[in-house]
Chain A
Amino acid sequence: MSVTLLDIVWAAVGAVALVTAVSILGVSLVWLERKFLGRLQGRPGPNRVGPFGLLQPVADGIKLLWKEDVSPGPSAKVLFYVAPLLVFVPSFVVWLTIPFTRDLALRNLDTSVFFFVAFSTLSIVGVLLAGWSAASKYSVLGGFRAAAQLVSYEIPLIVIAITMVALAGSMSFVDIVEAQRTVPYIALVPLAAVLFFIAGLAEIGRTPFDIYLAESEVVGGPLVEYSGAHWAVFYLAEYGNTFLVGALTALLFLGGWSWPFGTLPAPAAVALFLTKSYFVTVLIFWVRGTYPRLRIDQMMSLGWKILIPLSFVTLVTVVVQRFYGWPSWTLTLMSLATLALAAWLQTRLQGAPARALAEKYRRDAVVVQAKPRLHREAPAAAKVEASS
């Protein structure tokens, strides 16, 4: 295959279009998150710049670009400035193979799931470098937290991706979506969807897994020393990744651009896909508005003791079901049963004892009974006794 000039031009145009589109999506998420969280918290959210505050992210962006770009004196300057790119580039490259509808993808690879897995792991290096090169203890702590977290949660994410590949029999996102034409995979393997969502939350470092960014502990972690445009790049990558998790969940579990009532025309299909992606993204924001943050050891034990075994269980059940050709509802049943068991165990272990304890505290509080107001004893008297 020879590369012509036209190919290069088209690749450049495609890249620019992609970066623009993803940036716009990311920026729209900034607005959506602030507005949605504001509504959750009983406040209006941004409403000053533009209608409904829609231009707020633009104003933020302009402010960030105008800010002075400061780097700490003892930092490793080259690495310090390369690190944002190492985070930014993989998070955008992954979008190359994400199809928005059957025919709308920059490169419709046969192995697009593999491509996604390969590139999404790269950003760990950037985060770790950002943490290390800033020569700040907080960012070092954050960087190492990030490395531990991202590496751990890659595994369930990838295993679930493999599961979906096994289910669809293809490594192409397009084929996986086409396989969900009648029944989206969330109905077949709800456990896998939940695991993927949780692992995805951890991969993008959002609540309750914002451990390496933890504002109240490590004050932003690897990003603590960044300012201005470099910080904005991290910010954009973060929102790009957030939307990526939304899009992947939509592709793998919600049937992407398809719905059970026939084939949609292309614009409607794209709109449907975006709606589904935004829906998952809003779920991510909702989780952020609800949950506190886990501690690093708790997060690790959740990953290694619960998510990874459960994801392998999912993989095995899917493979067994495919191998023996059992009907699909058996898969749903097995998946739901595992999910219910895990959820029930968790509430037994944490929620129920706490509620019982709270009830006990309420009941066992020391009651102080009011005295009748008959008379008031006079305070100890002080009288003039001597003078000087």
Chain B
Amino acid sequence: MTQPPKPTPPERPARHGPPVEVAQEVFDVQGQETARLLARVVGTNALESGGRDEVPWVRVERERLPHVAERCRDDQSLRMDMLHLLLAVDYVEHLEVVYILLSTQTLRKAMLKARVPANDAQVPTATHLWEAAHWYEREVHDLFGVTFTGNPDLSPLLLYEGFEGHPGLKSFPFHDHDEF
């Protein structure tokens, strides 16, 4: 007996309503400075950059992500000593892994982003850089199925053992899912 094909996730319905506005990305004074420093630290690794207010962001290749993060951490002008947040966003055709770094000394914030193809969701781990990365990566692995290569323990953190699927993804069939 063959498995019935999984239903394709429904398309997001065409929107009706007012035209979509796009937020203007304007740096404040601190943001400009941080963006300048960040650009210098990231250097040629940067694929794309932007940001708003006090938080600049830089997109890098996913293999370079921990490396760039390490440079941000060790750089004397940035000193991003805290991994403030690690998250993933599901853009259906690809995932985006975002590090939000923060410095408790220079008080600067920055985001590092990396695109991850949905069918090969792998990113090098950052657990050797920050203790905090352990749980963040387990959570992202739970909810988005991103595998952090090199992470010693990617067992389920928020979900129960044996849970199938990754409920953070847009494709997760929420309404067909059985109650636990």
**Which among A57-65, A250-258, A305-313, A378-386 touches the partner chain?**
A378-386
**Cβ–Cβ contact B21 & A380, under 8 A:** no
B22 in contact with A385 (CB, 8 Å): yes
Least CB distance from B54 to A in Å reads 10
Any chain B CB within 8 A of the CB of A387? yes
* A350 sits at the interface (CB 8 A): no
* A366 CB to nearest chain B CB (Å): 13
**Taking the complex as formed, is B1 at the interface, i.e. its CB lies under 8 A from any CB of chain A?**
no
Q: Closest chain B residue to A384 by CB distance?
A: B21
Closest to B54 in A: A380
Question: Contact: A380 with B24, CB < 8 Å?
Answer: yes
Task: Output the least CB separation between A221 and chain B (Å).
Answer: 31
Residues 50-69 of B, flagged 1 when their CB comes within 8 A of A and 0 if not, give: 00110000000000000000
Cβ of A298 < 8 Å from any Cβ of B? no
Is there contact, CB below 8 Å, between A382 and B24?
A: yes
Least CB distance, B29 to chain A, in whole angstroms: 10
A241-284: CB near B (< 8 Å → 1, else 0) gives 00000000000000000000000000000000000000000000
* A381 B24 Cβ-Cβ under 8 A: yes
Q: Which of A380, A385, A386, A388 contacts B53 (CB 8 A)?
A: A380
- Chain B residues contacting A386 (CB-CB under 8 Å) are 20-22
Please state if A380 and B19 are interface contacts (CB–CB under 8 Å): no
Residue numbers in B under 8 Å from A384 (CB-CB) = 19, 21
Partner of A381 from the list B19, B20, B22, B26 (CB cut-off 8 Å) is B26
> Are B24 and A383 within 8 A (Cβ)?
yes
Which residues of the other chain, B, contact A383 by a CB distance below 8 angstroms?
Answer: 21, 24
The reply to whether A380 and B28 contact each other, CB–CB distance below 8 Å, is: yes
Give residues of chain B (4-30) contacting chain A, Cβ–Cβ below 8 Å: 19-24, 26, 28
Query: In the complex, what residue of chain B is closest to A386 when comparing beta carbons?
Result: B22
- Per-residue CB contact flags for chain B residues 112-150 toward chain A (1 = under 8 Å, else 0) read 000000000000000000000000000000000000000
Q: Which residues 356-388 of A sit at the B interface, judged by CB distance below 8 A?
A: 380-388
> B53–A382 contact, CB under 8 A?
no
Whether B22 pairs with A380 at a CB distance below 8 angstroms is: no
Report yes or no: B20 in contact with A387, Cβ–Cβ below 8 A.
yes
* Closest A residue to B53 using CB positions: A380
For residue A43, give the distance in angstroms from its CB to the closest CB of chain B. Answer: 39
> Is A388 a contact of B24 with CB atoms below 8 Å?
no
Which residues A215-254 have CB closer than 8 A to chain B? none
| Min CB gap B56→A, angstroms | 13
| Given known A380-B52, A380-B53, contact A385–B19 (CB-CB < 8 A) | no
A387 to B15, CA, bound (A): 12
A-side contacts of B24, CB under 8 Å: 380-383, 385
Q: How far is the CA of A387 from the CA of B16 in the complex (A)?
A: 12
Shortest distance between the CB of B104 and any CB in chain A (Å): 13
CB of B89, distance to nearest CB on chain A (Å): 19
Interface centre among A380, A384, A388 (most CB of B within 10 A): A380
- CB contacts (< 8 Å) of B22 on chain A: these are 385-386
Known A380-B24, A380-B26, A381-B24; judge A387-B53 contact (CB<8 A): no
A308 to B52, CA, bound (A): 68
Tell me which residues across on chain B come within 8 A of A385, comparing CB atoms.
Answer: 21-22, 24
- Bound-state Cα–Cα, A384 to B52, Å: 16
Chain B residues within an 8 Å CB radius of A382? 21, 23-24
CB distance from B27 to the nearest CB of A (A): 8
Residues on the A chain within 8 Å of B52, using CB: 380
Contact residues in B for A388 (Cβ distance below 8 Å): 19-20
Chain A nearest CB from B16 CB (Å) reads 12
Residues of A within 8 A of B21 (CB): 382-387
**In the complex, A245 Cα to B22 Cα: how many Å?**
77
Question: A385 CA to B26 CA in the complex, in Å?
Answer: 13
Contact A387 B19 (CB under 8 A): yes
Docked complex Cα distance between A386 and B28 (Å): 23
* Chain A contacts for B23, CB-based, 8 A: 382
How many Å lie between the Cα of A383 and that of B52 in the bound state? 14
Residue of B nearest to A377 (CB): B28
Cα–Cα, bound, A138→B24 (Å): 59
CA A381 – CA B26 in complex, angstroms?
Answer: 8
Rounded to whole Å, the gap between the CB of B121 and the closest CB of chain A is 28
User: Once bound together, how far apart are the Cα atoms of A380 and B25, in whole Å?
Assistant: 8
Taken together as a complex, chains A and B put the C-alpha atoms of A323 and B19 apart, in Å, by 104
Give A383 to B23 CA distance when docked, in angstroms: 7
CA distance A382 to B19 in the complex (A): 14
CB of B12 to closest CB in A, whole Å: 13
A383 to B25 alpha-carbon distance, docked (Å): 10
- State A386–B26 Cα separation when bound (angstroms): 16
Which residues from chain A sit less than 8 Å from chain B, CB to CB? 380-388
Assuming A380-B24, A382-B23, A384-B19, what are 13 further A-B pairs, CB within 8 angstroms?
A: A380-B26, A380-B52, A381-B26, A382-B21, A382-B24, A383-B21, A384-B21, A385-B22, A385-B24, A386-B22, A387-B19, A387-B20, A387-B21
A-B contact pairs, 14 of them (CB 8 A): A380-B24, A380-B26, A381-B26, A382-B24, A383-B24, A384-B19, A385-B22, A385-B24, A386-B20, A386-B21, A386-B22, A387-B19, A387-B20, A388-B20
7 nearest CB pairs, A to B = A387-B19, A382-B23, A385-B22, A380-B26, A388-B20, A384-B21, A386-B22
